[in-house]
């Protein structure tokens, strides 16, 4: 009999290898079962993959549609929503519509992984994508879908150059499909801003949205407000940088001065680069 540590058992190393391999396979199977049962992200990905498969299956059918038939899909979707269907019900068809429209208008067709990202955004998730992987194109699909409710969609980016660029570039896809697209700029008058906010899809910076909200809470008459009800938003680029924290958000000014300084653990802060020893709105940051 050879030592057990040398992977031999009674000289029958083949039998031991088979038994050991069987045990390992059983353990891996159990781990996969537990993963499927308890891993939420795994379940979500399986769900998104099934939807992406449905979208891809519609590709050949939608390629055969004329421009008029493709544009008519928007009115069809709106009618179906009013008849009781939900956004989730029409998601595969709506995404397939935008996918084909994007190819015809700007010559780009979202890949399978971009479909997964677009589905994730619709369900309120963060879709992390590297530079050049098509975040701007991905945003067109959930933006179109949620704009079909006619309650408005905001697409937030970090500066006005990107807002204007995306509004004219990706906005052509939405205009082709019959939706209105606006751009919120600092130089616009209140009347012009209101017109932009009433569009189906609005491209804006996070700063301008925040200051518009502040100004709307300072007007005397309700009709002088520029923003309408909040429905759905996509933070398209650098969501960490666009997310507003208490220290640099202009909305903090309308919340009133804190009676006592509020201490915030800086390690849990967004670290937007503007953190000071003391927040001008009363929050003290500690190391």
3-state SS record for the chain = CCCHHHCCCCCCHHHHHHHHHHHHHHHHHHHHHHHHHHCHHHHHHHHHHHHHHHHHHCHHHHHCCCHHHHHHHHHHHHHHHHCCCCHHHHHHHHHHHHHHHHHHHHCCCCCHHHHHHHHHHHCCCCCCCCCCCCHHHHHHHHHHHHHCCCCCEEEEECCHHHHHHHHHHCHHHHHHCCCCEEECCCCCCHHHHHHHHCCCEEEEEHHHHHHHHHHHCCCCCHHHCCCCCCCEEEECCCHHHHCCCCCCCHHHHHHCCCCCCEEEEHHHCCCCCCCCCECCCCEEEEC
**pLDDT digit string, tens, across residues 210-267:** 999 999 999 988 889 999 988 999 997 655 544 444 444 444 444 444 444 444 444 4
Mean pLDDT of 41-67: 90
In this prediction, residue 46 carries a pLDDT of 86
Q: How far apart are CA 91 and CA 93, in angstroms?
A: 6
Is the pLDDT at 3 greater than 50? The verdict is no
Q: What is the pLDDT of residue 62?
A: 96
Q: Is the pLDDT of residue 130 over 70?
A: yes
Q: What is the pTM of this model?
A: 0.72
Q: With 50 as the cut, is the pLDDT of residue 123 above it?
A: yes
- The mean pLDDT of the chain is 78
- For the cut 80, the answer to whether the pLDDT of residue 198 exceeds it is yes
Q: What is the mean pLDDT of residues 15-39?
A: 52
């Amino acid at each position: 009999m050879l030592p057990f540590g040398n992977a031999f058992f009674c000289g029958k190393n083949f039998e031991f290898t088979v038994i050991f391999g069987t045990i390992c396979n059983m353990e891996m199977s159990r781990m996969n079962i537990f993963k499927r049962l308890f891993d939420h992200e795994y379940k979500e990905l399986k769900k998104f993959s099934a939807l992406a498969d449905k979208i891809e299956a519609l590709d050949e059918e939608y390629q055969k549609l004329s421009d008029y038939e493709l544009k008519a899909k928007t009115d069809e979707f709106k009618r179906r929503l009013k008849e009781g269907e939900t956004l989730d019900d029409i998601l595969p068809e709506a995404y397939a519509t935008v996918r084909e429209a994007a190819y015809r208008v700007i010559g780009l067709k979202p890949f399978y992984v971009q479909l997964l990202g677009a589905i994730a955004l619709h369900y309120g998730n963060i879709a992390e994508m590297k530079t050049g992987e098509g975040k701007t194109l991905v945003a067109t699909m959930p933006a179109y879908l949620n704009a079909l409710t006619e309650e408005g969609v905001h697409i937030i980016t970090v500066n006005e150059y990107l807002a204007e660029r995306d509004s004219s570039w990706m906005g052509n896809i939405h205009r082709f499909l019959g939706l209105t697209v606006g751009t919120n700029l600092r130089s616009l008058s209140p009347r012009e801003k209101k017109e932009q906010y009433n569009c189906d899809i609005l491209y804006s910076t996070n700063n301008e949205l925040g200051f518009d909200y502040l100004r709307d809470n300072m007007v005397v008459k309700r009709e002088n407000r520029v923003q309408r009800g909040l429905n759905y938003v996509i933070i398209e680029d650098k969501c960490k940088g666009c997310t507003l924290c208490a220290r640099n958000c202009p909305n903090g000014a309308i919340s009133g001065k804190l009676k006592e300084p509020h201490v915030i653990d800086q390690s849990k802060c967004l670290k937007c680069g503007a953190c000071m020893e003391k927040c001008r709105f009363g929050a003290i940051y500690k190391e």
